[in-house]
Amino acid sequence: MNLSQRHLQMFVTTAAYCNVSRASEILHISQPALTRALKELESQLGVTLFQRTTRRINLTMEGERFLPVAQRLLNDMTVAIDMVRGEATGQQGSISLAVGEAFGCTVLPAVLKVFAQSFPRVRVRIINDNSKGITRRVDNSEVDFGIGSPVGNTGALLCTPLLSAPLGLLADPSQYKLGTDVDVSDLASLPLLKESNDTSIHHLLSVNGSDVVAWMSIGIEVSSLAQQLALARSGVGVAVLSALGASHYDAVSMKFSQLKPEINRKVFLMQRRDRVLSPSSRALLATIFEHMHSVPLHPCVLVYDCHSSK
């Protein structure tokens, strides 16, 4: 049986008007062509769908039974075709990405606002994780791509730098008098908040052999940027973070002091080399690349010019 969308559309339209002449006008085909197509459909199904008179046609009992089935099939086929075409053009589909909290709270909102206006039918799923978790999720193909600092197994990943932000201290200026820059040797007396061991900040400090690791080890340990900012704002401690984290709206009332000697955190787009991104994923990346330059970030943050590789 070769039951086509064309056959179903002709049957449903003719059933709606019970008039071949009117149906042929709606379908923009000749009456003889419509009559032949309906007889073809009846032949394929092995039943008579219409009772024909000189002026009018009516559905037979079999035709009445088949009508709701045909309507459902036609709708399903239309939805399926629209979905495939939409995914092929990037206008429809789903995207999953893993992202660090700093980038997710500072750059991503403005970018997604623009993206949603151009691609309202694309579903975006955001997973917040630290850099080690983001790297693992991308490596295991749990997400389409990730945005963070590569930590762990990166052999199968293509990593494109998006921005660079120096590490520093963020504190309530009414309680901690810090300059624009602060030397690492002057931090021993400050109540530093502790970064979790699996974060990119802790990884960078450890790789660079910074004394900050030892000094913040006795402080209150926090696992989220929001909690870190809340504690710093209340004066409980001094946050160790990057200028990107200091771009968060909750940090506007606090002072960011850059660490000396300078240590920079780089944020990358991470994707598997062997995975071709969908059109909708590529569209989101293009939006990120185009609009992240216009997002208001801390002056110390350097945003790179980049382009989609896949």
pLDDT in tens, 245-280: 999 999 988 999 999 989 999 999 999 998 888 888
Structure tokens, 295? 């997002």
5-88 has CATH 1.10.10.10 classification: yes
Ordered alpha helix ranges (H), 157-248? 200-207, 212-216, 225-233
* Same fold for the pair 5-88 and 164-264: no
CB 184 within 8 A of CB 212: yes
The conformation of residue 142, written as its DSSP 8-state character, comes to S
Superfamily of domain 93-162+273-298: Periplasmic binding protein-like II (3.40.190.10)
**pLDDT beneath 70, residues of the chain:** 1-2, 54, 79-92, 307-310
The answer to whether 150 and 272 have CB atoms below 8 angstroms apart is no
Q: What is the pLDDT of residues 81-134, one digit of tens each?
A: 666 665 555 456 789 999 999 999 999 999 999 999 989 988 999 999 998 899
Domain boundaries defined on the chain = 5-88, 93-162+273-298, 164-264
Q: What percent of the chain has pLDDT over 90?
A: 50
Specify the CATH class of 164-264 in words. Answer: alpha beta
Number of neighbours of residue 73 by Cβ within 10 angstroms: 15
